[in-house]
């Protein structure tokens, strides 16, 4: 958007209008000892042309490295039309419907988004959006406590494949409200839940299941869902939305299906961008809709019988008394949702399934190539989607550094989150990777492993 600065005359006239002699006088309540005269290390002002050249030079330093990192944020092809449309002024500056009736186009966009997300997850109702997938899990846990009134516990159990970052965020948000989070036991051979080590006396308020797991494996979601429901717990599904084009939807897990599904919508047309902005999605069964945070758009007809859209449920504190609100996280990632809606509309169900299948195929090719190198093997047995954990015979950090020098971002080091794994590397290949890209990664890794001792 264009920036039009105030001239000196503009500033003087505004100060005169409010009766102030200077801008400094507007802030005279700030103690002088808290003020500084200069900022050390800040360069001299530059012109617009100089700034543009400097930023282009710095952007060029990033190069065009091949990215094989996943771990919750994924590089997918985004059709040019997605952001050409989403950044038009009509969407870019009017994506949050505070005065809903005057924003019928925006409301219809969100309504279409909700419809698509419920179809993907197999559940009844979707809200507009959440801040991201991690805060979405915290909101889902709090929602489970409100909805599962039969449960006396405030303990949430997490399957071993739940994203560690999601768990930390959920603890930070919901832990202060009396919820506790504990991981269920892991089977070291598969990376999934060890059903033989489950405590059958547990009575949690909710069980969280991620599919595909953070480690790339596929959990026995049917068995675990039924186990949780047998103990009176809600089931919260965390799912990569792209995977839902080919994997069983959370609403169909087990005999009754998951109660709530959430996750990050970043794979749906939102580019990688240093951690965001992304957006979280959430869906649930119809009987729990009153406890769902955020806003829900509904379709109706007016007095003349014409179709229209309205804010049907508004559970945030901006729309309801604070004591009645289900959430006070105000950020609504409406612009990201707009992009996701356009992305899903352009690809359709067949296109999204094609993306998922090609990603899975590329990952299988990548893993086959990497595990043909002495010193690299799969960490877990069993099927995977488009991420696989590998076991290296040496520290992962130096290997990733050597790959980066060769123009390859080689994956995610699991050491910080799972120190017991030793040298473990999570790799991911999406539909954006060609045969040449995969060969380049395998060739670079082979060169590194042949050129240095374990």
Q: Does one domain contain both 377 and 327?
A: no
Q: Does one domain contain both 205 and 260?
A: yes
Q: Quick check: is 57 in a domain?
A: no
CA atoms within 13 A on the CB side of 255: 5
Question: 356's torsion region: left (phi>0), alpha (psi -120 to 50) or beta?
Answer: alpha
Q: Does one domain contain both 207 and 159?
A: yes
Q: Does one domain contain both 175 and 308?
A: yes
Q: Quick check: is 8 in a domain?
A: no
Q: Percentage of the chain surpassing pLDDT 70?
A: 93
- The CATH number that applies at residue 71 is 3.90.1150.10
Q: In what order do the strands lie in the sheet with 234-239?
A: 125-126, 280-284, 260-264, 234-239, 206-211, 155-158, 180-183
Quick: pLDDT tens for 237-272.
999 999 999 999 999 999 999 999 999 999 999 999
Q: Does one domain contain both 371 and 432?
A: yes
| Among 296, 318, 344, residue at a domain's last position | 344
Burial class (CB in 10 A: 0-12, 13-18, 19+), 46: exposed
Which residue range is the domain that position 118 belongs to?
80-344
Q: Does one domain contain both 305 and 359?
A: no
Q: Does one domain contain both 106 and 148?
A: yes
Q: Does one domain contain both 383 and 301?
A: no
Q: Quick check: is 13 in a domain?
A: no
- The CATH number that applies at residue 270 is 3.40.640.10
The reported pLDDT for the residue numbered 452 is 56
Q: Does one domain contain both 305 and 354?
A: no
Quick: pLDDT tens for 185-229.
999 999 999 999 998 888 999 999 999 999 999 999 999 999 999
Domain count, the chain: 2
Q: Quick check: is 274 in a domain?
A: yes
Beta bridge partners of 281: 263
Quick: pLDDT tens for 59-112.
888 778 999 999 999 999 999 999 999 988 877 776 665 665 657 888 888 999
Distance (Å, whole) CA 219 – CA 187: 11
Sign of CA dihedral 441, 444, 446, 452: negative
The three-state (H, E, C) secondary structure of the chain, written as one string = CCCCCCCHHHHHHHHHHHCCCCHHHHCCCCCHHHCCCCCCCCCCCCCHHHHHHHHHHHHHCCCCCEECCCCCCCCCCCCHHHHHHHCCHHHHCCCCCCCHHHCHHHHHHHHHHHHHHHHHHCCCEECCCECCHHHHHHHHHHHHHHHCCCCCCCEEEECCCCCHHHHHHHHHHHHHHCCEEEECCECCCCCCECHHHCCCCCCCCEEEEEECCCCCECCCHHHHHHHHHHCCCEEEEEECCCHHHCCCCHHHCCCCCCCEEEEECCCCCCCCCCCCCCCEEEEECHHHHHHCCCEEEEEEECCCCCEEEEEEEECECCCCCHHHCCECCCCCCHHHHHHHHHHHHHHHHHHHHHHHHHHHHHHHHHHHHHCCCCCEEECCCCCECCEEEEEECCCHHHHHHHHHHCCEECCEECCCCCHHHCCEEEEECCCCCCHHHHHHHHHHHHHHHHHCCC
Q: Does one domain contain both 86 and 234?
A: yes
Q: Quick check: is 391 in a domain?
A: yes
The reported pLDDT for the residue numbered 252 is 98
- Nearest partner of 162 among 71, 256, 226, judged by Cα: 71
Q: Does one domain contain both 110 and 234?
A: yes
| Residue ranges for the chain with pLDDT beneath 50 | 1, 453-454
Q: Does one domain contain both 279 and 417?
A: no
| Among 344, 377, 396, residue at a domain's last position | 344
Distance (Å, whole) CA 281 – CA 301: 27
The reported pLDDT for the residue numbered 329 is 66
Show the tokens assigned to 408.
């390859």
């Amino acid at each position: 958007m264009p920036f039009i600065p105030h001239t000196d005359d503009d500033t003087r006239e505004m100060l005169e209008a409010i009766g102030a002699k200077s801008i400094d006088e507007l802030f005279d309540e700030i103690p002088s000892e808290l003020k500084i005269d200069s900022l050390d290390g800040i360069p001299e002002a530059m012109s617009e042309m100089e700034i543009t050249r400097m930023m282009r030079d710095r952007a060029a330093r990033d190069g065009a490295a091949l990215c094989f990192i996943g771990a919750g944020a994924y590089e997918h092809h985004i059709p040019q039309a997605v952001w050409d449309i989403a950044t038009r002024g009509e969407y870019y500056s009017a994506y949050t419907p505070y005065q809903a009736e005057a924003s019928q186009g925006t409301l219809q966009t969100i309504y279409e988004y909700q419809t698509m997300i419920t179809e993907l997850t197999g559940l009844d109702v979707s809200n507009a959006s959440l801040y991201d997938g991690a805060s979405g899990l915290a909101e889902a846990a709090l929602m489970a406590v409100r909805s599962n009134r039969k449960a006396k516990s405030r303990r949430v159990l997490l399957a071993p494949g739940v994203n560690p970052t999601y768990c930390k965020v959920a603890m930070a948000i919901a832990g202060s409200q009396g919820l506790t989070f504990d991981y269920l036991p892991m089977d070291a051979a598969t990376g999934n839940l060890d059903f033989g080590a489950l405590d059958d006396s547990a009575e949690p308020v909710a069980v969280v299941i991620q599919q595909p797991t953070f480690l790339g494996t596929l959990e026995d979601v049917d068995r675990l869902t039924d186990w949780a429901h047998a103990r009176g717990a809600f089931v919260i599904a965390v799912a990569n939305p792209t995977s839902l084009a080919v994997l069983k939807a959370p609403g169909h897990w087990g005999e009754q299906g998951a109660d709530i599904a959430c996750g990050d919508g970043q794979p749906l047309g939102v580019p990688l961008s240093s951690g965001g902005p992304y957006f979280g999605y959430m869906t649930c069964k119809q009987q729990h809709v009153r406890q769902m945070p955020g806003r829900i758009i509904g379709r109706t007809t007016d007095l003349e019988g014409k179709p229209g859209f309205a804010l049907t449920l508004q559970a945030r504190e901006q729309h309801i008394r604070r004591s009645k609100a289900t959430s006070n996280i105000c950020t609504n990632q409406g612009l990201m949702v707009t992009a996701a809606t356009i992305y899903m509309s352009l690809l359709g169900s067949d296109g999204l399934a094609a993306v998922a299948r090609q990603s899975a195929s590329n990952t299988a090719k990548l893993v086959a190539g990497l595990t043909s190198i002495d010193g690299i093997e799969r960490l877990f047995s069993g099927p995977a989607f488009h991420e696989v954990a590998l076991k290296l015979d040496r520290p992962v950090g130096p290997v990733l550094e050597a790959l980066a020098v060769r123009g390859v971002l080689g994956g995610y080091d699991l050491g910080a989150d799972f120190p017991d794994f030793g040298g473990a590397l999570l790799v991911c290949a999406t539909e954006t990777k060609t045969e040449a890209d995969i060969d380049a990664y395998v060739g670079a890794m082979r060169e590194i492993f042949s050129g240095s001792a374990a």
